[in-house]
Structure 1
Amino acid sequence: MSETVNPIKNKTDYILLTRDLLQRTKDAKTNLRNYFMFRVGMCCVLRISDIVSMRVHDLYDADLNVKPRLTIKEIKTGKKKDMSTAHFKKDAEKYRDEVLKPRLNKTYPDKATKCLSSDETIEIGTGKNKREINKYATDWLFTSNRYPFKHVDEKAFYKAIKASAKDVNLEHIGTHTMRKTGAYLLYRGNFDDVLKDKNVKPNNNISLAMKVLNHSSQASTLRYLGLDKETLDKAINDIDAFDIEI
């Protein structure tokens, strides 16, 4: 039976989890990598497979400036995902300065942005699939600690986020939590506790959530966010026709 994974619905829980991610090991760069992966996944509503497969040039230009938009092709669906980077630009700059630049300077001491500006190509594939790609296009955005030439493993991130969830007593947290949380925030308009404190009604913009998730039906989106039963219960509870006194 698959594990139930839910979105984070309250800002207090989000802060607890992400703060723990930033502090949980003695390696500050690993902590920052895991935290930034969570931010990118949430803000761009991405699957973990798409996050670990991101390249440096997906997010940064040839001068290592943060691109205004992140545009990738989803691995699972093959559909295009185009999202603004505005909500995590400061995080991207911090990651660039503290993790990415030191790594690139070590890899390419003659020119740190060589992987982004070089025209050198190599051939990959065979037969009909044979093609040329940029020699440095395989620089992963999120690298493995053990094997720096490989991207971080999904299982490694899973262990990190599960450990942080355990630290702060949060249940049903997994690698889908980032994507589900991002979609939930776009659906509701904000975290539930923030809406309650501000006495603001949720937007419940199902069309927007469907669009960012690349879903084709409202039912799929509500089910993905764990709201199908919740929405049904609320609709039933709001009907006063059953409240009959005799």
Structure 2
Amino acid sequence: MGQITSVDVNKDILIDSLKAQNARLKKLLREIAEERDRYKSLWETNRIQNEFSEKERKANRRLEQEKKQERLLSGVKSDGVPIAHAADSIRSYDEMCVVLDKLKNTGRMGIRNWAMFRCGICFGLRASDLVKLKWGWIMDDDGEFRDRIPVVESKTSKINRCFISDAIKETLTEYRKWLGGRNCSPDDYIFSKNNGGRLQEQSYSRYLKSAGKEAGLPIHISSHTMRKSFANIVLCVHDGGASDNTIRDIQGLLGHADVRVTMKYLKETTLRYDAARKEVSDFVLGRTDVNELVITQQKNNDDVYKVCMEILEKVA
């Protein structure tokens, strides 16, 4: 009888233990379900917030775009400062002459402004590099013009070896005659202020903008117009037009990573640059038949291929 009682007692303990474990499991399952519901609620809340935030971002972006559109139409920035327009190139020889005439005949330093615009187009330099040119760089000790000058570019620190063309010589000769020996020593700036100090490029840009408005031209003129005009003239006049496109095509066919390598194949680089500057000079002096700056010749792929084959035969 005692053994049976012992078994009954152990059985009751086991049942109680299982019931306790079952209760703990149920509690754990409830906690897990509550946690799951909590995370589900948080996820849904975050989803709604993100959706709202995305809608808000899109609305803010549209609003900002509308404001930007309004500023562009009004011509002023949000702080009230006028929006600067990118400089345009001159579009013809006639336009260039109109601008030069306005510069030359406006203000006491008109001849300087005229000379700087003419030389700026011929050199193809930035205004920041033009204003730092000195007479001693252009002319030797005997008062003769040098063949070329090395210019360390302010923006890139690269050396630009500029050919001194006939147009530059003619322009600076007339300018020096007007100066009458004043501010003409080797250490003097070529395009200086009236007192001999260095001219600020921003000041010169204002002269150009004023001349452009007086001329009534439908283009935006500033100091960078000189550099853009130089590039446009080269593209339209040099090598029959579109020579840069042709060189780029040849570069791709030959597999050159750098176009300068291609130019070494085609011709000695400095001579090509000199030829381009000479043709810009002829344009400025009115020696070409070109008036409208429009590309007159496009070379097709067959022409480019023939050139490439000739190059490959030479280097093989």
Aligned: 1:165 with 2:190: no
Aligned to 1:183: 231
**Unpaired runs of at least 5, structure 1:** 105-114, 117-136, 191-200, 211-215, 218-229, 235-246
Q: CA RMSD in A?
A: 3.0
* 1: CA distance, partners of 2:213 / 2:172: 27
TM-score (norm 1): 0.61
Picking from 173, 181, 201, the partner of 1:93 is: 173
Aligned ranges 1:105-144 → 2 under 5 Å: 115-116=185-186, 137=187, 139-144=188-193
Aligned ranges 1:16-165 → 2 under 5 Å: 16-25=98-107, 27=108, 30-86=109-165, 87-99=167-179, 101-104=181-184, 115-116=185-186, 137=187, 139-145=188-194, 148-165=195-212
Amino acid at match of 1:189: V
Give the conservation status (yes or no) of the 8 Å contact 1:187–1:209.
Answer: no
Give the conservation status (yes or no) of the 8 Å contact 1:46–1:179.
Answer: yes
Q: Rate the CA distance shift 1:176–1:55 in 2: closer, same or farther, 3 A.
A: same
Amino acid at match of 1:172: H
Amino acid at match of 1:162: K
* 1: CA distance, partners of 2:246 / 2:104: 30
* 1: CA distance, partners of 2:86 / 2:206: 16
Q: Rate the CA distance shift 1:35–1:2 in 2: closer, same or farther, 3 A.
A: same
Identity of aligned residues (%): 23
Per-residue Cα deviation, 1:35-60 (whole angstroms, up to 9, x for no partner): 11111111010100000111121211
TM-score (norm 2): 0.49
Amino acid at match of 1:103: N
Q: Rate the CA distance shift 1:50–1:34 in 2: closer, same or farther, 3 A.
A: same
Aligned to 1:227: none
Question: How far is 1:149 from its partner?
Answer: 4.0
Question: How far is 1:103 from its partner?
Answer: 3.1
Question: Could you say what secondary structure the match of 2:89 adopts?
Answer: coil
Q: Rate the CA distance shift 1:42–1:189 in 2: closer, same or farther, 3 A.
A: same
Picking from 176, 185, 204, the partner of 2:242 is: 204
Give the conservation status (yes or no) of the 8 Å contact 1:183–1:209.
Answer: no
Amino acid at match of 2:227: R
Number of corresponding residues: 170
Question: How far is 1:92 from its partner?
Answer: 1.3
Aligned to 1:213: none
Aligned to 1:14: 96
Question: How far is 1:8 from its partner?
Answer: 0.6
Greater fraction helix: 2
Greater fraction strand: 1
Amino acid at match of 2:140: D
* 2: CA distance, partners of 1:150 / 1:93: 21
Question: How far is 1:97 from its partner?
Answer: 2.1
Per-residue Cα deviation, 1:95-128 (whole angstroms, up to 9, x for no partner): 1222262334xxxxxxxxxx54xxxxxxxxxxxx
Aligned to 1:4: 86
Q: Tell me which structure has the larger Cα radius of gyration.
A: 2
